[in-house]
Structure 1
């Protein structure tokens, strides 16, 4: 029984993205949020605990928006456990680091339920009625199928010499999370409002989870969970200083609901003083 349970847990991990690394949360963060000199370093990876990378990133395209608004492609290099990229920082002001990835998610209508189509990777599976996915081998011509595009984005900000707002201006393209104050000026126990939009339209019901990086063995976890309101907003009040990992996800698909053509998620790294 225990062996079957472990096998099923392995399949559940594979379901989320076909590898253990993808079951972890991806992040991209500057080595320091206030820089001097002409070069900065961005580190990235897949982590189960915030910023504690266990696997190098794969499939993401990196770029940086410079204080002038110019977008520059970054060359990210990975070891087995970590990805890093150098950023030229000759200009003063605020920089925005972005890493983008798109995945196709396939669904099939099975007994009035939309199930993900996923490979079992050779694992023994429980009956279809007990699963939230269907394998390609189980599909027939009678199953209606659709494809949804998942847009994933990793975001962080850092500044040199001064804080500027060119990179903070909304573009009304894709998923954007706008801060009510400069993200390099966040303070503990001072509320900040985040507004979530897609193509410029506010989004209600988005899940927002902020987790503080652990820096000591016996340190207590700090996790803040909330959901955007009708105005697409949430308030975050960070109880302690530290580096925080903010996950913003589209609402979960309700049972029996047809998946949207596009799905969005964004992970943000910030430093709270």
Structure 2
């Protein structure tokens, strides 16, 4: 037992920091489907390994499922357990669905009677729950999107239209048309505009079964674009983030943005 613990510690010491960080994700049972039973099941979790349930469930209170015609549909059989959330989606329409867990909020901390105080919530709650005379008040805004894409039959692009809020991904082809050995081009937007200089990390799943995380790291160019050549088939986790001062309330001095997508790369 002692030897195995020492080995685990040695491996952890040489892995990059990002490999040990918790990763949020949505994982559909499949991303391309055609047939008489167009259902998918989606797992949602925050984990240490991709894509395994070994930390906490991803809360999906803010899940938005956009259908191929642009309408919003509801998940079915929603459940949250100790390690994951899960839900089903019936793909009644032909085309591409966008499944996104979208979160936005505020975080504040201050001193009260010589003790640190912390608060999380939205703008309405901030106005009533945080003291207006709070000492050493620091406020930050957060906006995050965790999403995936699923196509029933022939793909279309209606659900993929950017909302103009936070970080969003635009594929030059289609996010359900990815194949091992091929190169794909993407664009990242912030509030609907191309964002240069975003650092993107892309990691294939099944990290539990290899010591090296094998991350692919790229940076968006002046037009917010980047390319990736998929080394092999599998489910991939794509993540990026940034911060700016474009806050929605004057008390906040920083806005932290995050983006995660799960993409399936198919064999040739």
Does the alignment reach a TM-score above 0.5?
yes
Q: Is the 8 A contact 1:205 1:251 kept in 2?
A: no
**C-alpha displacement at 1:161, in angstroms?**
1.6
Relative to structure 1, the CA distance from residue 60 to residue 194 in structure 2 (aligned partners, 3 Å threshold; closer, same or farther) is farther
Q: Partners of 2:192 and 2:145 in 1: how far apart? A: 16
Relative to structure 1, the CA distance from residue 25 to residue 220 in structure 2 (aligned partners, 3 Å threshold; closer, same or farther) is closer
Q: Deviations over 1:223-260 (max 9, x none)?
A: 1112222211221122111110001211599xxxxx85
| Counterpart in the other structure of 1:202 | 194
For residue 88 of structure 2, the aligned residue among 72, 79, 86 is: 86
Q: Partners of 1:85 and 1:164 in 2: how far apart? A: 23
Q: Partners of 1:272 and 1:38 in 2: how far apart? A: 20
Q: Is the 8 A contact 1:207 1:251 kept in 2?
A: no
Q: Partners of 1:149 and 1:57 in 2: how far apart? A: 20
SS of 1:250's equivalent?
strand
**C-alpha displacement at 1:218, in angstroms?**
4.8
Q: Partners of 2:23 and 2:257 in 1: how far apart? A: 14
Q: Partners of 2:162 and 2:64 in 1: how far apart? A: 17
1:96-107 alignment runs, 5 A limit:
96-106=98-108
1:76-225 alignment runs, 5 A limit:
76-106=78-108, 141=135, 143=136, 145-214=137-206, 217-218=209-210, 220-225=212-217
Q: Is the 8 A contact 2:26 2:44 kept in 1?
A: yes
User: TM-score, length-normalised on structure 2?
Assistant: 0.72
SS of 2:222's equivalent?
coil
| Counterpart in the other structure of 1:264 | 257
**C-alpha displacement at 1:219, in angstroms?**
7.2
Q: Partners of 2:238 and 2:74 in 1: how far apart? A: 24
Q: Deviations over 1:19-48 (max 9, x none)?
A: xxxx62211121111224142211110111
For residue 28 of structure 1, the aligned residue among 26, 29, 40 is: 26
> Which sits farther off after the overlay, 226-235 or 215-224?
215-224
Q: Deviations over 1:35-80 (max 9, x none)?
A: 2414221111011112112221236411211111101243631111
| Counterpart in the other structure of 2:48 | 48
**C-alpha displacement at 1:154, in angstroms?**
0.9
**Residues paired across the two proteins, number:** 220
> Which sits farther off after the overlay, 85-94 or 227-236?
227-236
| Counterpart in the other structure of 1:70 | 71
User: TM-score, length-normalised on structure 1?
Assistant: 0.71
5+ long unaligned stretches in structure 1: 1-22, 109-116, 120-139, 254-258
Q: Is the 8 A contact 2:188 2:224 kept in 1?
A: yes
Q: Partners of 1:162 and 1:264 in 2: how far apart? A: 32
